[in-house]
Structure 1
Amino acid sequence: MSKPEKIVLFNGTNLDNWVTRSGDAPVAWQVENGVMTVASRTTDIMTKEVFGDAYIHLEFRIPDMPDKNGQHKGNSGVFLHGRYEIQVLDSFGVESGRGDCSAIYDKYSPLFNNCLPAEQWQSYDIIFRAPRFAADGSVSEKPRLTLLHNGLPVHNNLILETITGASLTEDMVAEGPLLLQDHGCPVSFRNIWMYRLPQAGADKY
């Protein structure tokens, strides 16, 4: 079996590979010097590309917002399949909970806090196993997630029992887009790419 192709989702130049959450408006996020930045209170954006099992890499930078706190401090999110949110937030130095950076929002806390201070570039490396479906269309296996935050595993083969809030729909799907959230904070992203992963290796010796 040959190595999968690297798919560049954000090329640092334009947002041609992205659409708005509703798909019916121009993408208004800003692109400058190889970086895309949330244009506050425009809308979420998502990839035209959809995927099942995948390895995804992205980098993000949280702005310094010293006058804000809690969920108002550098908030964004990375939604796998548009349904499972990995939180982006300024959580440097706090005891992480289900609403903090690298949490599966409101569902699962990270194993530990590996956040860097605001204004520093951070990375998510995501290994996502999509849900599996029976012949009648019911979910036979829930999706799974391994997440490396700044190079260290903060979720290890985690079973995602349910969809998180603010998802595209309430149903699990075999394939879906990568969605980035506009939560009103000028969070920046760069170097976004993925590999689609086969469900199994070759059946030979």
Structure 2
Amino acid sequence: MTPEMTEKWLPQPPVVTPYNAGATLIKAPSDAIVLFDGSNLSKWENAAGKSAEWTVHDGVFTVKKGTGNIRTKQRFKDFQLHLEWRVPKGIEGKSQLRGNSGLFLQDMYEVQILDCYQNETYANGQTGSIYKQTPPLVNAMNKPGEWNTYDVIYTAPTFRKDGTYRTPPGVTVIQNGILLQYNTVIQGNTPYIGFPQVVPHGDGPIGLQDHNDDSAPISFRNIWIREL
């Protein structure tokens, strides 16, 4: 197979202009686990289980090209997650090569992070898509240089003895206060090439992607999670 075989370009999600959701920090509630408070990446690690090497500066952290994906040390099942992310002002590139990263639920299922502000790409690879599966309902991007918020409610799958889903994973995604995914059924993992596969697993970490290209210096801040 080739990557293009699982790209769906039409219909394109309509554009909705959001408010500047990231202008004010949304403080973590009292029962939340703060995954990044602006000071360090002590709650994160790389794929080898060693210290995360992304760059922390000015209360945010930024993808460091070539260091690989990072993930939380703690593992989760069902949860409510909040995080804020920003692509830099003046970013260049087009389609998937403009501010590409990803949020991985249980380190298995990718919710796409991408600069889709006046940047067309395949619909099931847009910001807020369940990557290569379900396009977002709308395109709710803020301009480069402005913060975007994700609020994610996730229900983990359960499995039969033969490894198939007893109940599949489901997710709701809100970007900048606008609904992108509503209780969407996730069909399986989210590969770049090929179709979703059901892979049995237990609790898993939250992951963030190093896309390993010059167009993806994504920054993150204010990340917290509530176990459900």
Instruction: Tell me the TM-score normalised to structure 1 length.
Output: 0.87
Matches within 5 A, 1:72-91: 72-91=97-116
| Structure 1 Cα separation of the partners of residues 140 and 99 of structure 2 | 16
Q: Aligned residue for 1:155?
A: 181
Deviation per residue, 1:131-159 (Å, 9 max, x gap): 02346664200000000011111100000
**Is contact 1:60–1:123 with CA below 8 Å preserved after alignment?**
yes
Q: How does 1:49-198 map to 2 (within 5 A)?
A: 49-94=74-119, 97-134=123-160, 138-165=164-191, 171-184=199-212, 185-197=216-228
Alignment counterpart, residue 44 of structure 1, candidates 69, 72, 92: 69
- Structure 1 unaligned regions, length at least 5: 198-205
Deviation at 1:93, TM superposition (A): 2.9
> Are the aligned partners of 2:95 and 2:119 in contact in 1 as well (CA < 8 Å)?
no
SS in 2 for 1:70: coil
The answer on whether the counterparts of 2:159 and 2:200 sit within 8 Å (CA) in structure 1 is: no
Structure 2: gaps (5+ residues): 1-28
Aligned partners of 1:64, 1:81: CA distance in 2, in Å?
Answer: 30
Cα distance in 1 for residues equivalent to 2:118 and 2:137: 15
Alpha-carbon distance in structure 1 between the residues aligned to 2:93 and 2:102: 17
Cα deviation, residue 22, structure 1: 2.2
- Deviation of 1:174 (Å): 3.2
Q: Specify which structure has the higher proportion of strand.
A: 1
Give the partner amino acid of 1:82. Answer: D
Q: Distance in 2 between matches of 1:14 and 1:56?
A: 19
Q: Go from structure 1 to structure 2 and tell me whether the alpha carbon gap of 1:170 and 1:26 turns closer, same or farther (over 3 Å shift).
A: farther
- 1:7 is matched with 33
Give 2:185's aligned amino acid: I
Q: How far apart, in 1, do the equivalents of 2:222 and 2:111 lie?
A: 17
CA gap of 1:153–1:172, structure 2 versus 1, over 3 A, is farther
Distance 1:124 1:172, change over 3 A: farther
Name which of structure 1's ranges 135-144 and 28-37 shifts more when overlaid on structure 2: 135-144
Percentage identity across paired residues of the two chains: 39
